[in-house]
């Protein structure tokens, strides 16, 4: 679209959503790990590595000094440990391989049952995570779970 051309509201929303969900840049943790390797192996100064990898000097320095773990992140504490999430992801993959894949809502119901059975305290309403948590779970465990590909069925006329 050229200058002075207007978009419909639907086009504007679609463009915003595309921008929001099409970011495929490496995670900050991966950038920090690469920066730390560059500092240690290539003897690059911290400031130069921070600039090269797009992370702040202080952020990189605290992880290099050991003050913070490389994988530590801001925000609320995770509800499940990495091992628990990995086992849920493997279970989800196994269910899919058996032809009994779960829809997102069904998986969230399963997680709600697990939370209630283990009496975990969560910030979730009624102990049921939302779709934002589901999307984050899927991206955290993308090395285990791949989104299923739709296949066309051939029907006889």
User: Do 60 and 90 fall within a single domain?
Assistant: no
pLDDT by residue (tens digit) across 16-35?
Answer: 766 655 555 567 778 888 88
Residue 105, domain member (yes or no): yes
pLDDT-above-70 percentage for the chain: 80
Q: 49 vs 20, 37, 39, 46, 52, CA distance in Å? A: 27, 10, 7, 5, 5
Q: How many domains is the chain partitioned into structurally?
A: 2
User: Do 90 and 128 fall within a single domain?
Assistant: yes
Residue 128, domain member (yes or no): yes
pLDDT, mean over the chain: 81
User: Do 86 and 130 fall within a single domain?
Assistant: yes
Closest alpha carbon to 114 in 101, 125, 127, 97:
127
Residue 99, domain member (yes or no): yes
Residue 113, domain member (yes or no): yes
User: Do 86 and 134 fall within a single domain?
Assistant: yes
Average pLDDT over residues 98-118: 91
User: Do 58 and 98 fall within a single domain?
Assistant: no
Overall residue count recorded for the chain in this entry: 157
């Amino acid at each position: 679209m050229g200058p002075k051309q207007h978009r419909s509201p639907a086009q504007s929303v679609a463009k915003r959503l595309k921008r929001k969900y099409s970011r495929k840049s490496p995670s900050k943790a991966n950038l920090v790990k690469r920066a730390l390797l560059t500092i240690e192996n290539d003897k690059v100064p911290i400031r130069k590595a921070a600039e090269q990898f797009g992370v702040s000097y202080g952020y990189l320095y605290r992880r290099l000094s050991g003050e913070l773990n490389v994988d530590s992140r801001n925000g609320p504490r995770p509800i499940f440990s990495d091992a628990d999430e990995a086992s849920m992801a493997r279970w989800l993959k196994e269910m899919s391989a058996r032809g009994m894949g779960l829809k997102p809502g069904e998986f969230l119901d399963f997680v709600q049952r697990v939370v209630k059975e283990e009496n975990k305290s969560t910030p979730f309403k009624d102990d049921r995570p939302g779709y934002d948590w589901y999307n984050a779970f899927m991206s955290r465990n993308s090395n285990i779970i791949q989104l299923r590909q739709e296949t066309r069925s051939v029907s006889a006329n």
